[in-house]
Structure 1
Amino acid sequence: MIESKRRPWVRGLPVLGSIWLVGAIGDRLWFTLDHSIPNWDQADYLTGVLNYWQALQTPQWFSGDWWTHLWQLSSKIPPLVYITTAPFIGLFGAGADQSTLVNLFFSALLLGSVYTIGVCLFTLPVACWAAGLCLLMPGLYRVRLDFLLDFPLTSLVTLCFTCLTVWRETGKGERLKDEGLRRKEPPNFTLYPLAFSLSDWLLATAIGITLGLALMVKQPALLFLVVPLVWAGIETIWQHSWIRLLQLVLAVCLSTLIWVPWYRTNWLLMLSATKRATIDSAIAEHDPSLLSLDAWTYYLKVLPEMISLPLLVLPLVGFLFFWRRSRVSSQCLGEADFGPKTKNYRQQVYGASRAALIWLFVYCIGGYLLSSLNVNKDDRYVVPYLPIVALLLAYGLTLLPRRWKLLQWGTIGLALVLMFNNLVALPLGSTPTQKSFSQHFAYTGEGYPHAQVIASVIQAQPYLRSTIGVLPSTGQINQHNINYYGNLQNFRVYGRQVGTRKSQVEQDARSVSWFLTKTNDQGSIRQQEAQAALVKTVEQGTDFTLHKTWALPDRSTLKLFRRSIPLLEVAPVVGSGQLAISGQRSAVSSQNSKLFYTPPITLDQVIVPDRVPPGQPIPVTYRWSGDWQSLQSGLVLLTWHKQGQPAGRWVHDHGIGMGLLHPKVLPGSKASRFQVVERLAMLPPQDAAAGTYTLEATYLDRQTGKTAAIATPSVSLRLDAKATANPAPELDLATQLRTLSTALPKGGKDLTAAFDQIGRINQYDPTQDYADQVRQATAYRLAQEPKNREFAYTLVLANVLKRRVGDAIASLQQVVQLDAQNPYAYGYLAFINLYDFRAQAAQAALRSGFKLNAKLPELYALSGVAALMQGKPIQAWQQFQQFERLEKQTN
């Protein structure tokens, strides 16, 4: 009997497959026509795919550090879509169109899920109609034809809801059997066959897995699934189905095994990103307040456009017929048996339909209300309830009289025409302006020069990782798509938006070697004054020269500027040739110097001024040479010692080429040795004693940890408070980080200002390799001088920036020993322990901090979090109250 009841579900699979195939062919034809450039979000997500694809080339499945690194590749958005897309670009090549092939997989999941719910709750025709409507709804095809997270989110949320629905209906079937109710055809038609063939525990496992996967796509998955899950849980309690309640609880617990590792690693950055994406974006976009009616009717107003008006009107007429028939059947209900043609049976059918409709409305209304609670409104945020809306509309279509069948197909035909009109603009060759969410025209106009921009930079600097400061921010020219096209070329070029603060314009101009500017429309620039100032500095100043220009389809001009005197130069060594560099004073190293170890590189030349004042940046030029691997993986530990006083010094540790040497030499290079010229600035302490300083250098291999002394040229400089400061480049990022670490012992506003500057310099090195350079170099120095408090604080900051939690805790434990009377040190230790969910260890550190300063507001805030993590809400509330009081007194 069960086998016969499974046939309706199986019988419709050819129809379902045909629907998917038609949609797949249509989608790929659209992508063939479309020549557009990925927008802000699309380009950002595509870059995430490249990052994960690169990481998965060399997996280390049993390494905890590798998994931590994998999760940290995407610190704000869960990475499931990136991971699932990686095989597609591995098979079909890296590119925007190739990456969208993953949507064919998610489309199959979505259509199969909707089809299964249709068979489960209604009939086979409803299931097939619903799958077809999912192809025709503007709200769904709009996100299906983009590389966004919304379509995969919709697919997996619907899949989870499908598993929950089948599990729930299985329980109903079991109860009917226990009650001895026998019907020739169950009220909910063909579902029970499907449900009875599956174990309740297997379905509960599927709920847990799909819930975990949905949360690994995007956090809003919970907005659509929490209400149905709670509803199902309440039903099991009401029915005293304790075994099924246990199944549901275990399903939720199972999901944590999937989503907890990523969320645990990135929870703090995720929360800050969520705040920017919701509250900050809502303010910037002037979204309605939650206290207004517009906030709660926003998605209702856009629903007809997301569904398509023809697909909305006719099913509503069908529901009018349903309402009328159900009332008639209710009035005519008698004592007849439950035969398939009796009014009693018809009333049972309508009752089962109402129960199914209530369940679907629970999902839709719950998702609508929770999405409306989000202050940031966007049409695509509610796409996950559209497949269930499609089910409701499909059921409405089947309720129409049979003589209206021609009208049904006519409505589908009209929806097809509207879809074509929204996706393809005729005549081809231009793309009109999109006026609504449902429109997503294929761009058939002239191409954009992103690939040529990247090629120009690589040709000019073939051995370096380059960063382009992107000053416009339009849909076609922005930091994200420049970054994406640069990453497509083996991660040789990165794009970043600079010029966002007027106070940082000068630092931006001195720190970035490439800039892109654009005439006419500048796009969505929030700080227009700052951006205009930086454009003027680049285009009209003497530090940059125009490298190349391109004409854009919108009749504007794209300009690529390059720094006139490069901060870094790399060239193969041919014979005894050297790169020409100019300076005030130079010295060439002696090749006959006696070394304890043979270094793999040489320091060929150093240029410094004769006399400089302390506390001011000093221009310095280093020329290094060696084989590519040694240069690329090398750190140089540079110490400028005062003659006769080894204690008087400053350090200038950094990676060779500031860590910007690309791991791979361009194909075709035959050189065995290369030369690197660095034009940098170093910073002696303000209290450095006057006198003559000389250089001592050590090579540290970043891969092996091996060190070797480097012969240094006979070079010296004199510190003199009366000397005039020399013009110098911007301090290198490693030096800036070491300088900023001095704010840690001070805490408070000094720490806030330091992290504000770190956010700025992170833009200049998109991989944040400078923090790794400082971390490795400082760890080596601290091992040599374990009581050096300055090194200890620097190592803490570097570990925190690289999110090496275990190392950060270890370095902070060393800090609290070296700086035992500083309450901030204990606060930092408590914070990192809280970040790692070690509330008791955090509370122990805070007790030491309170003994030193019981009026420090930050300690009370951390104590409140620690209490909350330990399940002590009253104590947490008391600590937060004390924090607010002290904050008011401080301000």
Structure 2
Amino acid sequence: MRKSQTRKRWLVPLLWRWLPLLLIWLLATAADRAWLAADQAIPAWDQADYLNSAVDHGRALGLLPGGEWPGWRDFLLLSPKIPPLASLVHGTVMAVAGEGPDQASWALALWHGLLLLSLDGWGRQLHSPRLAILALVLAAIAPRLVSLRVNFTLDLALTAVTTAALWQLWRWQRPAPHGGHWVAAMLAASGLAAALLVKQSAVPVLAAPYLWAVVTGVGQRQRRRQLLAGTALVLTLLLPWLHQNWITTIGGTHRAVVVSGANEGDPPVFSTASLLYYPQLWWRQLGSVSCIGALLGLGLALWRGLRTRHFSTIPQIPQPSLPAGWGWLLGCTVSGWLLTTMSPNKDARYIAPVLALLILWLSLGWLVLLSALQNWLGRWRAFVLLAVSMALATGHSTVGRVAAIHRAAGSGEPPVVSLVTFLRQHTGHAPTTLLMAPGSADLNEHTGTYYGRLNGGQLLVRSLGDSPAHHPLVLNQAEWVALATGDQGHHRENVRRLSHRIRKDGRFQRVRQWPWSRGRSVELWQRRPDAARGTPFVRQFVVLAQGLAHGPQGLARFMEQIGPHHQLDGHLLYQQQVEAWANRRLAQHPQATDALWSLAALKILRQDAGAADHWLARLEAVLPDNPWPTTWRAAVLLIDWKPWAAREVAHAHPRFQDEPLLKTVGELAAVAAGDLTHLPALHASWPRALEQVNGAL
């Protein structure tokens, strides 16, 4: 009897602690799975891109068929623009649940669970279990978050990890005795690292809170040590990926943020329209019912605070106390909104991490309103009114999702799936590249590649033909091409022109056709077995690589040709052939510059800085009077975060003072190495280097 009472004494509080969280997560997950089963829409550009990244990482870990561990450097190169943490999680989930879109979406349920866990813990520590439960309900029915739970992007993952990171950072930066502990510091550092390793978009949300935590903690000896240890942990986890991919990350971020913002016509950063861009979406993103109730509650609390002396004849409205931590939440919310607004590229998805913080404020408003209703109507009537309101909010969100099913649903198998399935049956597991001329949400290269690689497939789909300059290359080299009739999607005129040329070219034959939509059809064309091809790219590559010996002009020509050929040969099979040829040639002629340049160029393309440095050093020895092996070698070392070695290499060349670009690279390396006395020399050589590059181009 006593043992039973003891068990009951600890079991009941445990159930009350975790049962609401578990129940809400299970109900939300069940609703999501039902929606996915009913929708059956295929992933569009972004979703397919993230799914492809998950497949890449799952294969690299040996969890999915068709891949194996490629080595640490090549593993880091699998995520050249976006950090790898989410893809690692998604690839692992795929290994357990399956590679299909719906199966992979189980990963979203895990991210949603992390978000709910963070809101629950934060809400309880901020105020009370009642506020935490309200936050869980509001998060589960918020229309934007509901949409993200069935949309395979990184936004839900980013929202979950940033919320967890801010919660743990708040726990650490609290005044003693609650804050300042080593466990909290390491949890906060792990959360910050995880958020940054999911997506760079975590920076606007985390930057100001982290800086505030640094400012408030650096003056205390114990916290200063914790700050240093936590920052070291973040850098240890982040720098390996950033070191390997920092250039592609900067380039990709620039295109995704600056270029996309300009192309899409988003409002200027420093404008009223930009400042209000996201707040005007919150009403729909959080749900009108949720916002109305919360605003009423917060308004009541504010009114009571301002008009306390005039409330003598009105029943007093209970106001929950606000423990320390709400100022931190306010700062996180405002700074996250403002810094996210500073991005030139705006989209409703990008504000998702701030929505989680706003939900805590909505929960506070509803708690105030519920307390007032209990005082006016009685406890049970107040809870009935709350339940009806939550049911209305849930119904509003459900109607939106059902409407999305009707918009996404189609008849029959999508043509991209039919096309890829047919081609995989025809080519087997041989590495194959298909060129996709049309481009739309349901027919594009990312979606085609995803279905082409399911279950160990080796079919890659690429896009080439947007520019008329690439049309001859497609006609001379392509093996498989997918065309469409009618509206081609993006770059309509150029794609139509390419489609017309392929249909009229006797070197191609149509293999099969599938119906698409709006009277359009998708066609698969193949090069005839007896049709002539252009010069193999292996030979062209050797010539292009030797052009690097002539400076910027050769480099520009090299990069101009590499991009289109990488689209034609998605598996980069030519690189193995070039490497094999170059090694054979060097075995016979150790100083053959064509082979040395080819190997150096290959290693630069593969971002293998150590090997590139080796082959460029060999070229320096063979071509002592040519400044370009040294220039490229110093640049490679500088990009590899070895400024001291880059400085030594550049300054040692006899023509260092005469070649503007070489001198600029050398002086930049010296400054990067910490020798600021070279700033005047860098300032003087920079214009000459630009003039040299522009003149060569």
Answer yes or no: same fold by TM over 0.5.
yes
Q: Can you list the C-alpha shifts for 1:319-348, whole angstroms capped at 9, x where unaligned? A: 12222334567999xxxxxxxxxx9xx99x
266-275 or 391-400: bigger deviation: 266-275
- Measure the CA separation in 2 of the matches of 1:881 and 1:445: 66
List runs of 5+ in structure 1 lacking aligned partners.
175-191, 333-342, 433-441, 568-727
Q: Quick one: structure 1 residues 38 and 323, their matched pair in 2 at CA, closer, same or farther if it must change by over 3 Å? A: same
The answer (yes or no) to whether the contact 1:546–1:560 under 8 Å persists in 2 is yes
Q: Does 1:382 align with 2:354?
A: no
- Displacement after TM superposition at 1:853 (Å): 5.2
Greater Cα radius of gyration, structure 1 or 2 = 1
The partner residue of 1:470 within 424, 436, 446 is: 436
Aligned to 1:562: 526
Per-residue deviation at 1:97? 0.8
Q: Residue 12 of structure 1 contacts residue 128 of structure 1 at CA under 8 Å; is this kept in 2?
A: no
Which among 843, 852, 871 is matched to residue 655 of structure 2?
852
* Residue 182 (structure 1) aligns with: none
String of CA shifts for 1:580-600, please: whole Å, max 9, x gaps. Answer: xxxxxxxxxxxxxxxxxxxxx
**Are 1:742 and 2:534 counterparts?**
no
Aligned pairs for 1:326-725 (under 5 A) are 326-327=305-306, 350=321, 352-353=322-323, 355-400=324-369, 401=372, 402=374, 403=377, 404-425=382-403, 431-432=406-407, 443=409, 445-462=411-428, 464-525=430-491, 528-565=492-529
Question: Aligned-pair distance for 1:53?
Answer: 1.6
Whole-angstrom distance in 1 between the partners of 2:667 and 2:345:
29
Corresponding residue number in structure 2 for 1:285: 264
What's the counterpart of residue 203 of structure 2?
Answer: 222
Structure 1 match to 2:230: 251
Give the whole-Å Cα distance in 1 for the aligned partners of 2:116 and 2:141.
Answer: 12
Aligned to 1:165: 170
Q: In the alignment, what sits opposite 2:27?
A: 22
Is structure 2 residue 78 aligned with structure 1 residue 275?
no
Per the alignment, residue 38 of structure 1 pairs with 43
Quick check: 2:99–2:455 contact (8 Å CA) kept in 1? no
Give the unaligned 5+ runs of structure 2. Answer: 1-8
Tell me if structure 2 keeps the 8 A contact 1:46–1:147: yes
> SS at 1:858's partner residue?
helix
Shift of 1:6: 13
Say if 1:491 and 1:459 are closer, same or farther in 2 by CA, change over 3 A: closer
Whole-angstrom distance in 1 between the partners of 2:391 and 2:253: 41
Paired residue for 1:149? 154
Q: Give, in whole Å, the separation in 1 of the partners of 2:14 and 2:262.
A: 48
CA-CA distance at 1:546 after TM superposition:
1.1
SS in 2 for 1:495: strand
- Cα distance in 1, alignment partners of residues 24 and 675 from structure 2: 54
Q: 2:536 aligns with which of 732, 738, 743?
A: 732
How many Å apart are 1:459 and its aligned residue?
3.5
Structure 2 partner of 1:435: none
1:815, 1:869 → 2: CA distance? 25
The one-letter code sitting in structure 1 at the alignment partner of 2:422 is S
Q: Aligned partner of 1:382: which letter?
A: I
Q: How high is the TM-score relative to the length of structure 1?
A: 0.71
Partner in structure 1 of residue 140 of structure 2: 135
**Offset of 1:397 from its aligned partner?**
0.5
CA deviation string 1:637-673 (max 9, x = no partner) = xxxxxxxxxxxxxxxxxxxxxxxxxxxxxxxxxxxxx
Give 1:74 shift. Answer: 2.0
The residue type equivalent to 2:524 in the other structure is L
Q: Secondary structure at the match of 2:462?
A: strand
Cα deviation digits, residues 130-157 of structure 1 (max 9, x gap):
1111111122112211111111111111
Give SS of 1:12's match. helix
Q: State the Cα distance separating 1:118 from its structure 2 match.
A: 0.3
Cα separation, 2, equivalents of 1:120 and 1:521: 56
Contact 2:464 2:567 in 1 (8 A): yes
* Conservation of the 8 A alpha-carbon contact between 1:9 and 1:119: no
Residue 67 of structure 1 is matched in structure 2 by: 72
- Identify the residue that residue 233 of structure 1 maps to in structure 2: 214
In structure 1, distance between residues paired with 2:556 and 2:241? 27
Alpha-carbon displacement from aligned partner over 1:277-334 (angstroms, at most 9, x marks no partner): 11221222122222433222222222222212221122111112222334567999xx
Letter in 1 for 2:278: Y
Question: Shift of the alpha carbon at 1:846?
Answer: 1.7
Letter in 2 for 1:543: R
Residue 424 of structure 1: SS of its match in structure 2? helix
Cα deviation, residue 458, structure 1: 2.9
- Give the drift of 1:767: 2.3
How far off its partner does 1:516 sit?
1.0
Higher relative contact order (CA 8 A, sep 6+): 2
AA partner of residue 102 (structure 2): D
What TM-score results when the alignment is normalised by the length of structure 2?
Answer: 0.90
Q: Letter of the 1:858 partner, please give it.
A: L
Check conservation: 2:170, 2:325, Cα contact below 8 A: no
Q: Percent identity?
A: 26
Distance 1:531 1:842 in 2: 45
Instruction: Select 1:301's aligned residue among 280, 289, 293.
Output: 280
Amino acid at match of 1:88: V
> 2 CA distance for matches of 1:754 and 1:87?
38
Residues 1:204 and 2:8 aligned together: no
Query: What is the aligned partner in structure 2 of residue 114 from structure 1?
Result: 119
Q: For residues 101 and 566 of structure 1, do their structure 2 counterparts lie closer, same or farther at Cα, with a shift above 3 Å needed? A: farther
Structure 1 residue 873: Cα displacement: 5.8
1: CA distance between counterparts of 2:166 and 2:680? Answer: 37
Cα distance in 2 between the residues matched to 1:539 and 1:870: 57
Deviates more, 1:870-879 or 1:507-516: 870-879
Number of the residue aligned with 1:831: 635
Q: Secondary structure at the match of 2:200?
A: coil
Aligned partner letter, 2:528:
S
Q: 1:431, CA displacement in angstroms?
A: 2.7
Q: Are residues 414 and 855 of structure 1, via their aligned partners in 2, closer, same or farther at CA, if it must alter by over 3 Å?
A: farther
Deviations 1:712-736 (A, max 9, x none): xxxxxxxxxxxxxxxx521222112
- RMSD, matched Cα: 2.8
2:626 aligned residue (798, 822, 830) = 822
For structure 1, which segment, 103-112 or 207-216, has the greater mean C-alpha deviation from structure 2 after superposition?
207-216
1:619-644 Cα shifts (integer Å, max 9, x gaps): xxxxxxxxxxxxxxxxxxxxxxxxxx
Q: Does 2:588 align with 1:784?
A: yes
**Structure 1 residue matching 2:244: 3-state secondary structure:** helix
Cα deviation code 1:691-730 (max 9, x no counterpart): xxxxxxxxxxxxxxxxxxxxxxxxxxxxxxxxxxxxx521
Match of 1:580 in 2: none
Q: Which residue of 2 aligns with 1:804?
A: 608
Kindly state the Cα deviation for residue 449 of structure 1 after the two structures are TM-superposed: 2.9
Q: How many residues in Structure 1 have an aligned counterpart in Structure 2?
A: 669
Q: Is the CA contact 1:35–1:447 (under 8 Å) kept in the aligned structure 2?
A: no
Structure 1 pair 331–887 and aligned structure 2 pair: CA distance change class (3 A): farther
Rounded Cα–Cα distance in structure 1 between residues aligned with 2:547 and 2:645? 24
Corresponding residue of 2:6: none
For residue 367 of structure 1, report the CA deviation from its aligned partner: 1.3
Residue of 775, 793, 798 corresponding to 2:579? 775
